[in-house]
Amino acid sequence: MLFNYFNFMKRTGTVTLLILLSFSAFSQVSAVQPKVDERTELLSIVFRLAGSEEYVNNAIPSYVKDIDAWFKPFRESELIKYAQKLGKTNGVSFDAVMSMAGNIEIKDSIRLKQNLKENSLDKRWGKAEAEKFIRLLNRFYVETKFHEFYENHKSLYNVAETNFSRILSQVDFTWFQTFYGGKPAEGFNLIISQVNGGGNYGVKAMYNDGREDIYAIMGSWKTDSLGQPVYTKDVIGTIIHEYNHSFCNPLIDANFKQMEEVAFKFWEEEKDVLRQQAYGSAKTMCYEILVRACVIKYYQMAKLSQEDVNRMIVAEKSRGFLWINYLVDDLSVYEGKRNKYPELKDFMPEIVSMQNRLNPSKLKAEYDTR
């Protein structure tokens, strides 16, 4: 998850400009097409009505005005109350909400996709909770005439898709397969949410036969003089970040037990600054540091100078990721030994070992006295 990442990119001025210039080498007609998706609009609207802060924004004033008017009679519905409860008791918020969107389908009814792995849906839901939520979601969908609301706003969605597609061709999607290794992903899905504001998320649906649906779910936070959503090159870094989450999060999940003790010490050292970014646990911090290190590797592939890579590393340390330079160096070792480590998952024990050899309090003291 990356919340308001575009603000960080703006603050890194020169680095941002050089990164954007470097992407021109990969300009192509992208096979990945941005889409507004009924599932993400539905889930985002539900949690807006439930008062989840990250889904309550007014980035597109005309749209949220329509939302609030259309769904006002349902603010006290059983679904909305249950969503509020799940937020308080299970921590269902941020990317957990979008995980549900990526793991359901809307056909004759709303249901979980067929043949999903047991751990495909974010674990904050819980099996019984997810079943009850989907049952209530079906009722809400019908009673609110949600599909009619969605169809009524197709012109807005078409504008968003057209505007986003103009910058998407500058992302080199082949890099992900090359860097992470393994069998090719079934495909990337770029979803634009009109409710999420500056919130951007990377989620996936995983199937028992090994297939995966990978999603970068992008928010919308800028409008033109007519109130229509617009997107600039600032968003490119966020796209890359969110796609990396779909690869990195399972790697951390598979290795976190071995990382947890030292990871928690790192999180304790920087918990205040990490919490300000909605990274409220050691595991979430681990997701983020691996993603951010892999993003830096993407930029290195794009021929960003070492000086500007160093500036990115400094910026990430200021955001609480104290050992990111060690991680970037380790990923360079991985890149140089692909015969031994065909996939990044094969190299993860080396990353775990490296993290566990570090001294969090010492690195924090060194950073504070730099």
- 204, pLDDT greater than 80: yes
pLDDT computed for residue 67 by the predictor: 98
- 303, pLDDT greater than 60: yes
- 7, pLDDT greater than 60: no
* Parent domain of 364: 236-368
Higher pLDDT, 216 or 229: 229
Residue 84 lies in a domain: yes
The 10s digit of each residue's pLDDT in 17-30 is 334 434 443 444 45
Measured distance CA(115)–CA(212) in Å, rounded: 11
Residue 15 lies in a domain: no
Measured distance CA(228)–CA(348) in Å, rounded: 44
DSSP-derived letter for residue 113 is P
Closest among 337, 341, 310, 308 to 324, alpha carbons compared? 310
Domain count, the chain: 2
**Rg value, the chain, Cα:** 20
The 10s digit of each residue's pLDDT in 330-370 is 999 999 999 999 999 999 999 999 999 999 999 999 999 98
Percentage of residues of the chain with pLDDT beyond 70: 91
User: Is the same domain home to 245 and 336?
Assistant: yes
What is the residue whose two structure tokens read 């970068």?
216
- 249, pLDDT greater than 70: yes
- 308, pLDDT greater than 60: yes
User: Is the same domain home to 50 and 103?
Assistant: yes
Residue 14 lies in a domain: no
In the chain, the amino acid numbered 199 is G
**Mean pLDDT, residues 214-233:** 92
**Where residue 4 falls among pLDDT bands split at 50, 70, 90?**
very low
User: Is the same domain home to 188 and 211?
Assistant: yes
Mean of per-residue pLDDT scores for the chain: 90
User: Is the same domain home to 197 and 50?
Assistant: yes
- 188, pLDDT greater than 80: no
Closest among 335, 344, 118, 332 to 247, alpha carbons compared? 344
User: Is the same domain home to 316 and 253?
Assistant: yes
Residue 93 corresponds to which tokens in the numbers above? 């918020």
User: Is the same domain home to 71 and 214?
Assistant: yes
pLDDT computed for residue 186 by the predictor: 60
**Where residue 80 falls among pLDDT bands split at 50, 70, 90?**
very high
User: Is the same domain home to 81 and 199?
Assistant: yes
* Residues 19, 234 contacting (CB under 8 angstroms): no
**Where residue 14 falls among pLDDT bands split at 50, 70, 90?**
very low
Q: For helices 127-143 and 38-49, what crossing angle results, to 10°?
A: 100
User: Is the same domain home to 40 and 81?
Assistant: yes
Q: For helices 306-318 and 324-336, what crossing angle results, to 10°?
A: 140
Residue 139 lies in a domain: yes
User: Is the same domain home to 184 and 319?
Assistant: no
Residue 28 lies in a domain: no
Percentage of residues of the chain with pLDDT beyond 90: 79
* Residues 2, 218 contacting (CB under 8 angstroms): no
User: Is the same domain home to 191 and 263?
Assistant: no
